Amino acid sequence: MKRDRWIYIAYVVSGVCLWPIPLLNVLHAESSAVVATIAFFVSGWVASARFDSSTSLRSAVRVGRRLLLPAFIPAGLLTASMLWAPNCGYLLGAGLYLLFVPVSVVFATGLAYFLTGTGLRRPSHWFVMVGVVLLVAGPAYDLGFHPQFFTYNHVFGGILGPIYDEQLAIRPGLFWFRGVTLLWTLGAVLVGMRLRGEGGRWITGAVMGAALLIGISYLFSARLGFNVTEAYLKQALPGTRTTTHFEIHYDPGAHSDAEVRSWARMQEFGYAELADRLSADPAADERILTFVYPSPRVKARLTGARTTSVAPVWLSRAQSHVLVGRLESSFQHELAHLFARPYGLPGLNASWSVGLVEGWAVALEPPTLAPSSDDLVRAARGRTGLSDDLPSAVASRLSPFGFWTDRGAVSYTTMGSFVRYLLERYGPEPLKSVYATAAFESVYGKPVRELAEEWSASLEKASTIDAEAGGTAARWFSRPSLFETECPHYVPPYRRRIQQAQRELAAEDSVDARRFLQEAVSLEPRSANAHVRLARLLLAMDSSPASVLEKVNSLDPEWHTPSVTLLRADLTALTGDLEEARRLYAKTTIAIPSYETDARANVMLRSLSASSPSLTRLLTIGGTAEEKARRFAHHASTASGREAILGHIWAAWMYRAAHDARRVAEMWGRILPDRPRHTRQRVQDVTNEVVGDRLPRAWQVALSDELLRSVLHADMRTGRAERVGREAKQMAAMMQEAGAKQEARVWLHLAAQAEWVEQGEGRTQKRDDVGESLAGG
């Protein structure tokens, strides 16, 4: 027993060393993988020392049992750490520990039994070499040659997905793979017995049987979930659309042709924009693959990444993997990563500096109405997680450790602002040169700190700052990183019920969806999300608005988030109390940041529709955006006056959500008066007619501008790009004069897109297999 003492000491030291390390100080996937690695090498080294060429199977099993017991010491220590490091997902963590650690111990013992039977000198050294090869080669093969963002390993068990995914993807492939690990163990033991002359003739057949099962497992590795290939993804997402620079794969059962055309147009314009800005053409020889996933569940099942958008630049073919709900917000970020491939380190196609990698992508994102990264840094400097010493902040975030251990929003925003400064001040060529190695002094002739001081000084010169920057920075930058989060990766039971309800609704099973939402409310009565979803489902199932409102009003006022207030407003409107409904709509509008113009416009339109029970009722009925649009269009065709106008506006709004530009243009064509005025004036006339004195003047202007955006986007996609470019430039000039710099950038971006469409979409339709113009959306 004395010679086993150091094994126990090794495990105790390992467990205690994990205590102060965030994320690893709780019993979960990451800590289990670390302990499994330690257990593999400790067990294998000890077994290699105790086995020899004459060791019987019975003796080997006895040693293996003695090696298993101490492997649970770290589990006990990580259980004790719950006293200061909460672990809400303890049961899942314990299950992963059982799947990772004991299997690795058994595998190590079997491998040692095989190696000691070969007669090799120093079998323990051979064991370590084999272990290191498995430890490194497995992830290198999985991640380096496959479009997947997980890796399963015989030594450490597995890495289940990207660090940014809040909810881990526990895929069936993990269990199959650990089964294959046990098959390898069986094979190693059988060969070890054969080398020792044990077992008789049946050994050969057993070895061949184990080898056959292992071979079949790897042959069907994609179906079993070990490895994901491009061919397998294309089979799982059989819809294909080819453009000049992209090959888009998607689920044809989940998306309409109009929606796919809008993706294609957006991607081609994004490519043209980056190509012009960087003087680059990375898809000149081979199209970029874009995989669009219909839901987080499908994305997790296929790639291991649930919500995180990824562009694996290290793969031989440029590609991106994006959830459909994040396509518009994150695609160009991922595309920017792909544009950087030629300038990265050989083989990796990226920089060693994560700060440069992500700063490059953020700097090249298209403008949005949200405060710019420059304004966010100005507003947060010296508070909200961002040091007042900006040069030091940049230097610390260049390294992977500094970037990933800090709060994500702070790191991304800081580096995005810095890299944008370098791009605008010095141009793209030095940035391309510095990208791979971050050797700033050799490229720019200045150390990074001096460049960061220049950037910091440029931020201080700004005479104005976005009014929303302070509040936005406070919200975004206060979100803790994964290393700061209590109970990382934990998904409470009530949220799992909500996810199940969403799946049932997608399958058009409202009865089971209602049951799951009722369970969610029961499990977490404070969840505004659960209450809102349940109430809206009950409305869609023809429950009385008054009865639903009574339940919602009984909620604690502290739980009245904007979504709850909006629900109360809809229900109050349906019960006929227009004054109270409009008060609640106004309260909701105030709670939404001013840059979320579409959300604010949606609430304003609801307020304007409150006097029409028919319109409000249509808003509460479920269905796809296209189905809702058809209902509104039908209602508008039977109504008159102001209600008909609102019905057509709602139909256009829903068709926009369905990406059907032709229908959007058709709806606007029915309500815009045909007179020789600019589109902006025509939209203002319609807005004035439906608003009257029901909204504050500033809100009325904001609503008119958002409706104008809808009209111009539809015009651009239906052959009126010249008009759109002219109007967008005029709006940009007005916004610039009013000091709304970010809005001016957004309008200029729309003008550039219109010009691109007008010029034949950049004259990029060169290949014969591009079937139709993307402008025909």
**pLDDT per position as a tens digit, 470-522:** 888 888 888 877 777 788 888 899 999 999 999 998 888 899 999 999 999 99
269 pLDDT more than 80: yes
Structure tokens at 717: 């996609």
Q: Rounded to whole angstroms, how far apart are CA atoms 273 and 754? A: 12
Q: Please, what is the average pLDDT of the chain?
A: 90
Phi, psi (5° rounding) for residue 593? Answer: -55, 145
Residues in the chain: 777
pLDDT at 763 over 50: no
Give the dihedral of Cα atoms 205, 207, 208, 213; nearest 10 deg: 120
Q: Do residues 680 and 665 touch, judged by C-beta distance below 8 A? A: no
* The 3-state secondary structure of 160-216, one letter per residue: CCCCCCCCCCCCHHHHHHHHHHHHHHHHHHHHHHHHCCCCCCHHHHHHHHHHHHHHH
- Give mean pLDDT, residues 653-657: 92
Is the distance from CB of 744 to CB of 728 less than 8 angstroms? no
683 alpha-carbon distance from chain centroid = 36
The CA-CA-CA angle for residues 677, 678, 682, to 5°, reads 75
3 state SS of 323: strand
Give the pLDDT of residue 3: 62
Residues 625, 324: contact at Cβ < 8 Å? no
Angle formed by the axes of helices 408-426 and 373-380, to 10°? Answer: 120
Q: Report how far apart the first and last C-alpha atoms of the chain are (Å, whole number).
A: 76
pLDDT tens digits, one per residue of 100-110? 999 999 999 99
| pLDDT per position as a tens digit, 66-93 | 999 999 999 999 999 999 888 888 999 9
SS3 (DSSP) at 342: helix
Q: Which of 298, 321, 318 is nearest to 249 (CA)?
A: 321
Q: How confident is the model at residue 1 (pLDDT cuts 50, 70, 90)?
A: low
Paired with 242 in beta bridges are 247
Residue 438 CB-density burial (10 A; 0-12 exposed, 13-18 middle, 19+ buried): middle
More confident residue, 384 or 227: 227
Rounded to an integer, the average pLDDT of 266-288 is 92
Single-letter amino acid code for the residue at 65: R
pLDDT-based confidence at residue 770 (cuts at 50, 70, 90):
very low
Shortest CA distance to 358 belongs to which of 319, 403, 315? 403
Picking from 22-26, 93-97, 317-321, which range would have the lowest pLDDT averaged per residue?
A: 22-26
pLDDT given for residue 165 in this prediction: 81
Would strands 246-250 and 239-242 be described as parallel, antiparallel, or unpaired? antiparallel
Backbone angles phi, psi at 250, to 5 degrees: -155, 175
CA dist., res. 350 & res. 625, Å (int): 40
C-alpha 302/C-alpha 286 separation (Å) is: 24
Lowest average pLDDT, out of 71-85, 229-243, 273-287, 714-728, goes to: 714-728
**Are 42 and 7 in contact, with CB atoms under 8 Å apart?**
yes
| pLDDT number for residue 777 | 37
- The CA-CA-CA angle for residues 294, 295, 299, to 5°, reads 95
What are the backbone dihedrals phi and psi of residue 490, each rounded to the nearest 5 degrees, phi first? -85, 130
Read off the pLDDT band of 746 (50, 70, 90): very high
Task: Note the pLDDT of residue 586.
Answer: 96
User: The tokens of 565 are what?
Assistant: 């207030």
What is residue 398's DSSP assignment? S
Q: Read off the tokens for 246.
A: 């992209």
Q: Which element (helix H / strand E) includes 240? A: strand 239-242
Give the pLDDT score at 559.
Answer: 80
- Is the pTM higher than 0.85? The answer reads yes
**Other CB atoms within 10 Å distance of the CB of residue 492:** 15
Q: How are beta strands 246-250 and 288-293 bridged, if at all?
A: parallel
What pLDDT score does 535 carry? 93
pLDDT, tens digit, 9 for 90 and up, residues 166-209? 888 899 999 999 999 999 999 999 999 999 888 778 888 999 99
C-alpha of 254 from chain center? 19
Alpha-helical (H) ranges within 528-674 are 528-540, 545-553, 562-574, 578-591, 597-609, 613-620, 625-638, 641-657, 661-671
Q: Is the pLDDT of residue 768 over 70?
A: no
